[in-house]
Amino acid sequence: MAPSAIIDSVESAPKYVDGAVITNVDKHGDNPVVIRLSDEELHSGKTKPETIQELLKYYHRDGFVVLENAIPEALVDRLYNRMIQDNVEYLKKKHMHWNQGADTGNVSQIPPLEPDWLDRDFYANPHMIRLCENLLGPKPELRFINSNVSCPGGTARQAVHSDVHHAWPEIPAWGLVMNIYLQDSGPENGVTEVWCGTHTAYRQKEQQATVDRGWIKKEYLQKQAKVKPPVQPKVRKGAICFRDLRLWHAGMPNKSDKHRIMLAIDYFAQWYQCPMTTKLPLSMKEKIEREWEGISTAGVEWIDGEINSLDVPFYLNMTQDPELYLLQTERGFQDHKGRQTGQYKFDTGTKVTDQNYWTPEVEQTA
């Protein structure tokens, strides 16, 4: 054996301390931790056990971890350009709704659902699914495909909130969202503010400011910031951000001249029995169930014929109760109270103030 081969073999051999493997994974940062897939993992579609170990470690600790180099850039650029074109049309739709007010410049826009645009790399990425399986159990259920678009010119931020404001099972993980950035992102173009560690820090009713939404009490924001402050991380194009649905976060204004687009793909554990469904074309059913390995399509509503994603109303229900869904209409968001009263007041009227986000405290000097 050549000397160089011997050296390579020694350097690649696992190292252990007290019986535990010491992982040799490319990662940086701590709030949040960013892990980079090797080119070998990217092209083979096979995630190394050490990479999964590190992803699990930081996901459980922080409720948020970033995986770089997960999707080929050519695919990312192609989808970004298509969604920019779609956004022009979407903003003209009567049912379009600004998230937490027009000043945020923030909208939910479903990506194209035509067969040519449903790349497995985005919606059932093999590295994504490996982590989902280890967190949620076998055959995690795909139940939500959407995106968050931060348009140029936004001036307002969102309130710090959790995506779930219902009673949830006290279990490490039952549902998660994968946010995939379609461009390099940071504070300048409205990357999401995240609060690492808040997914299990407090109980739902304890932290929640009101019954009907997941906004967080000011006193908890101020207290948690002393433990680990919020951050707008720099995220590379094509990175997958794994976020626990309970994690505190907030949309931020886009101060650049280009759209910031972030896909949102939700998977749930089978036992959770989430009633939410997502629409996909029936013509793709056989291919998806054959090639999107490791997932369950129990949460997919198969539609015969073409689907114009811009006409599909926003539909959300992360609870376990089929009646507690949120539906986008021309009159506004219809929640369970709106269905009872006929008045659709969800996400209207309430203004974001400094009581809804962290404000650094000025130390008093003698």
pLDDT tens, 96-155?
Answer: 988 888 899 999 999 999 999 999 999 999 999 999 999 999 999 999 999 999 999 999
For residue 118, what are the CA distances in angstroms to 83, 111, 123? 13, 9, 8
pLDDT for 211 equals: 82
Superfamily, domain 22-348 = q2cbj1_9rhob like domain (2.60.120.620)
pLDDT for 8 equals: 43
Q: List the structure tokens of 48.
A: 């190394």
Could you report the per-residue pLDDT of 54-98, keeping only the tens digit for each? 999 999 999 999 999 999 999 999 999 999 999 999 999 999 988
Q: List the structure tokens of 287.
A: 């291919």
Could you report the per-residue pLDDT of 138-162, keeping only the tens digit for each? 999 999 999 999 999 999 999 999 9
pLDDT for 80 equals: 98
Question: What is the crossing angle of helices 126-136 and 49-62, to 10°?
Answer: 60
Q: List the structure tokens of 265.
A: 């793909």
pLDDT for 363 equals: 56
- The residue assigned the tokens 């909208």 is 107
pLDDT for 139 equals: 98
Q: pLDDT band for position 345 (50/70/90)?
A: confident
Could you report the per-residue pLDDT of 216-242, keeping only the tens digit for each? 999 999 999 999 999 999 999 999 999
Q: pLDDT band for position 9 (50/70/90)?
A: very low
Give the β-pairing of 34-36 and 20-22: unpaired
Residue at 329: amino acid letter: T
What's the mean pLDDT in 152-173?
93
Is residue 7 scored above 80 in pLDDT?
Answer: no
Q: List all residues 6 or more positions away from 3 whose beta carbon is below 8 Å from its beta carbon.
A: none
